[in-house]
Chain A
Amino acid sequence: MATQSADFQTLSRRYTADKGFRAFIQKGMSGYYKKRDLNKANFQDWQGARDLAAEIKYEAINHLDKYLLEFEEKITARGAKVFWAQNAEAARDYILKVARENNVQTIIKSKTMTSEEIHLNDALEERGFGVFESDLGEYIVQLRKEAPFHLVFPAMHLTRGQISDLFQKELGSEATDEPEKLTMIARDVMRRKYCEADMGISGTNFAVAETGMISITENEGNARLTTSLPKIHVALLGIEKVLPKLEDLSLFLPMLATAGAGQTMTCYNTMYAGPRQPGEPDGPEQLHIVLLDNRRTELLADAEQRDSLGCIRCGACLNVCPIFKNVGGYSYGTTYGGPIGSVITPHLRGLKDWKHLSAASSLCGACTEACPVKIDLHHHLLQNRRNGAKSSPNPLEKISFGGFSLMMGHPALYRLAVIFGRIFQPLQSVVNGTILDPLRAWTGSRKFPTLAPQSFHQQWKKDRGGKK
């Protein structure tokens, strides 16, 4: 049975019960909102920028065949190797093969959610490779043996005190609650790892078809070191990351920075066009590009929800989502949390097991309003609900709504039903809030409304008699 659904219920219940934790997440977000709004105002026309971004993504997603081949051709011409991975296993196997063939011992990684999607770290560690995350937040959750809490802020759920405790335990450092000192502790460890590592694995924010380049954007400089010091660089990306033209980045880079972290631009923006070229003094000897499908083409085949492939993984929809802010990142049980995760996970991992995430929404639409590329997120949740009800209906719901539609479809039955409602309401008040109360899901935390002595229908008939 749907254990994912039961897990979500259990975890969301646990997290929402922790008011201190909810307040901590809300507070963390409030700083982001201020900076985001400030930087949105720096755009001449933020709504116009969203329209343009959506158009560019529409063009790219609808012509992936053309742009991916163009990208491959251009970057291969400069010596990169492109591997087309149909699924997670194929991607993992390829990366393992490259590591084995080159006698790799130690691997350093910069932030990549796509590697979380294919569970790459587990696969590498199981086969004896040492794997180190170099992004500070990712490093922290790796030390805690946790997954990232949020697409962009992997360790936002932790206090400085918790991080200090972790570093004391795992790294033998001194206690401190100064962010700078905590960063220096991690940096000391990391600098040594960059020099030791013989393979660097990165994600990719954008691929540019026109020039055959990949673009990586980051704030810590760790991705630059990860991709340039080791002799092999593996860049992992979903096939939807390709953009047609280089100039598209002039829109997408500031947009990603603004929507993702409330920044004008991310601190480091780097373009990679191939491995070390003849005559160049540094850079990796090999560049491997792993293009991942992993059921993205199935999403592509869904004309209604295809736009969700336009996602630039900025996390803006999570940041405004009242569900995410109250249940946190770990309740979802998915790589991609929040609204975008609820939309795409049923496509990537199966509707039957993941449709509950689409039901766990008030459909408020804050996500759609925030999305910089205008993905129609909350309407896609409705479509997932419809698809789920069709392919695997919940028997109780099916019967209830069948009864509902019978009643509402026949005005006379509706009038009869509300008479019964008025008879049963006093009975409910006897058991109100107790375990016998059929309305307990509501009455546990909220007072149930009382039926008016007479409906408007009845009052109107009496007052205005016959007038239609």
Chain B
Amino acid sequence: MRISLFIPCFVDQLYPNVAWSCVRVLEGLGHEVLFPESQSCCGQPPFNSGYWDESRSAARVTMKAFRDAEVVVGPSGSCVTMIKVFYPDLFKGEPDELEARELAAKTHEFSSFLVNVLGVTDVGAKFDGKVTFHDGCHGLRELGIKNEPRALLANVKGLELIEMCEAETCCGFGGTFAVKYAPISTAMDEVKCASILETGADTVVSNDSSCLMQIRGMLEKEKSNVRSLHLAEILASK
């Protein structure tokens, strides 16, 4: 399959290794990976803040970048939700509504694509460690992704998954919310990190780098030795 990679802007700038991990996993499964270089941002920050006109300008660049794509895969439940769930709302009544709907239909979150589209749960990865998994809210509640990452982790050699009590509780990131309401966002992060530490896991994994940025930010500030990795990075480990 010819897979067009959708890399969220902050992953592009902060976590290129997550993007490369996706490339390695997908190519390892024998697929061709494309990266349309004109992509920038899906438009979620202005959308979530209520500035839909501004959001549409960014979203149109994304739509154009993937116009000819056969299938679009991105390593973020949140940014994929923006395309898959919110583009149809954002472009409702606009001349390019149909194009938004077409892109929504062919776009998939990384773990969901592997399990539900490719039918793969074992990518031949190896990772020694105790891992706990954080369900990003958008992936979990907007896209209904719960079992897919776990099915993939279950087949990683050497990996032990320990579920945390607050796996489905929001980490408190929420985009601009994290700075507009920093004390609340921080309190939520504290609840999440306490639950991670309670498991005794050495690594926290998620399918959303934005959640991991929030979680990692606090773990590092508190000088915890718990690592945080994107699911794709685990699956690309040999």
Q: Which residues of A line the B interface, CB within 8 A?
A: 9, 12-13, 16-17, 19, 22, 26, 322-323, 326-327, 359-366, 368-369, 382, 385-390, 393, 397-398, 401-402, 404-411, 414, 418, 421, 439, 441-442, 444-452, 454-457, 459-461, 464, 467-468
Contacts and interface: CB of A to CB of B under 8 A. Distances in A.
Contacts of A390: 50
Interface string B174-190: 11011111111111111
Nearest to B19: A456
Given A362-B137, A365-B142, A452-B14, A409 B184 contact: no
B217 A449 contact: yes
Given A387-B50, A455-B13, A360 B178 contact: no
B12 A401 contact: no
Contact of A360 (B39, B177, B213): B177
A390 B51 CA distance: 8
A446 B177 CA distance: 14
10 contacts: A12-B184, A362-B173, A366-B137, A382-B47, A439-B179, A446-B218, A446-B220, A449-B213, A452-B13, A456-B16
Nearest to B185: A362
Contact of A365 (B38, B52, B137, B217): B137
**Residue of A13, A22, A409, A444 with most chain B CB atoms under a 10 A cut-off:** A409
Most chain-B CB neighbours within 10 Å: which of A393, A405, A449?
A405
A28 B142 CA distance: 28
A369 B146 CA distance: 14
A442 B179 contact: yes
Interface string B38-66: 11110101111111111101101100000
A382 B140 CA distance: 18
Nearest to B178: A442
B184 to A, nearest CB: 6
Contact of B54 (A382, A405, A439, A450): A405
A326 B191 contact: yes
Interface residues of B, number: 69
B141 A12 contact: no
Interface of B: 7, 9, 11-17, 19-20, 34-41, 43, 45-55, 57-58, 60-61, 137-138, 140-142, 168-170, 172-175, 177-191, 213-214, 216-218, 220-221
A386 B50 contact: yes
Given A398-B51, A404-B58, 14 more contacts: A19-B190, A326-B187, A362-B178, A362-B185, A364-B169, A368-B141, A385-B50, A389-B49, A393-B51, A404-B46, A405-B55, A447-B221, A456-B11, A468-B37
Contact of B189 (A445, A448, A451): A445
Given A22-B187, A389-B50, A446-B221, A451 B45 contact: no
Nearest to A359: B180
A459 B216 CA distance: 24
A385 B220 contact: no
Contact of B174 (A13, A362, A398, A464): A362
B9 A445 contact: no
Contact of B177 (A361, A410, A414, A444): A361
B141 A369 contact: yes
Contacts of B175: 362
A359 B13 CA distance: 26
A439 B176 CA distance: 12
Interface centre among B51, B168, B186, B218 (most CB of A within 10 A): B51
Given A16-B184, A385-B48, A409 B218 contact: no
B137 A359 contact: no
B183 A411 contact: no
B40 A414 contact: yes
Contacts of A393: 51
Contacts of A359: 49, 177, 180-181
